[in-house]
Amino acid sequence: MTHSFQLSMNIPLAARRAAMLAVLWLAACATVVGPRTITLSESEITRLIERHSPFQKRLLDVLDVRVTTPHVRLLPETNRIATELEVSTTERVSGRTYHGRIAVDYALRYDDAVQAVRLKQVRVNEFQIDKLPAPQQAAIHRLGRLIAETLLDDLQLYRFKPGDLKSAEGYGFKPGAVTVTSRGVEITLAPIGH
């Protein structure tokens, strides 16, 4: 009699365990339905920009520009990133080189065609060339805009590996919104079709 009593007690316990596992599995599935995020920290963003450095470009066939050494700061209140860079410009005719810095800020966007996060809306906040007289310094701001637009606007910051996106799509997700937060840049992986 004792033996059959233990057997009848084990069946409800096993059923309870199975029910508990089913509830946990359903809860886990429910959390998978919502969006997920990939977060790139401020230091990771700096490293990603440094990978493109130095930026070099000949402007108007008279000036060689080299931009290096990015210093990145997140601006979550405006959903933008600020970056200060060192600038070196060399006049092609005279060979004179001038050094200075440029401070820009920009937003980010996801480009589905190339599966990458890109800079957009690059704005020049300050452009300074060392040892340049004040009247010329005021006129140089246009050059700063040209440098930013030519070298930084639409720059590919981060590109997903094809395998990463295939895996995400296999789970029903794809990249969407790109948001600057105090933790870093968050790339939302949203459910496909939402």
Determine whether 46 is exposed, middle or buried from the number of CB atoms within 10 Å of its CB (0-12, 13-18, 19+).
middle
Residue 98 reports pLDDT greater than 80: yes
What is the sign, positive or negative, of the torsion defined by CA atoms of 42, 43, 46, 48? negative
Q: Is residue 34 predicted with pLDDT exceeding 80? A: no
81's CB contacts (< 8 A; 6+ apart) are 45, 72, 73, 74, 75, 105, 106, 107, 108, 180, 185
The pLDDT value given to residue 53: 82
CA angle 147, 151, 156 (to 5 degrees): 155
pLDDT value at residue 122:
94
Q: Dump pLDDT digits (tens) for 132-173.
A: 777 777 777 788 888 888 888 899 999 988 787 788 787 888
Q: Pick the more confident residue, 93 or 105.
A: 105
C-alpha dist (Å) from residue 43 to 29, 131, 147, 154: 33, 32, 24, 21
Report how far apart, in Å, the C-alpha atoms of 121 and of each of 29, 82, 96, 104, 124 are.
Answer: 39, 12, 31, 10, 10
6 against 106, higher pLDDT: 106
Tell me the percentage of the chain whose pLDDT exceeds 70: 81
Look at residue 33 in the predicted model and tell me its pLDDT.
54
pTM for the whole structure: 0.75
Label residue 105 by pLDDT band (50, 70, 90). very high
Average pLDDT over residues 38-47: 93
Per-residue pLDDT at 185: 96
The sign of the torsion formed by the CA atoms of 42, 44, 49, 54 equals positive
Of residues 123 and 147, which shows the higher confidence score?
Answer: 123
For 14-62, give the DSSP string. Answer: HHHHHHHHHHHHHHHHHHHHS-EEEEE-HHHHHHHHHHHPSEEEEETTT
Structure confidence at residue 21 as a pLDDT band (50, 70, 90): very low
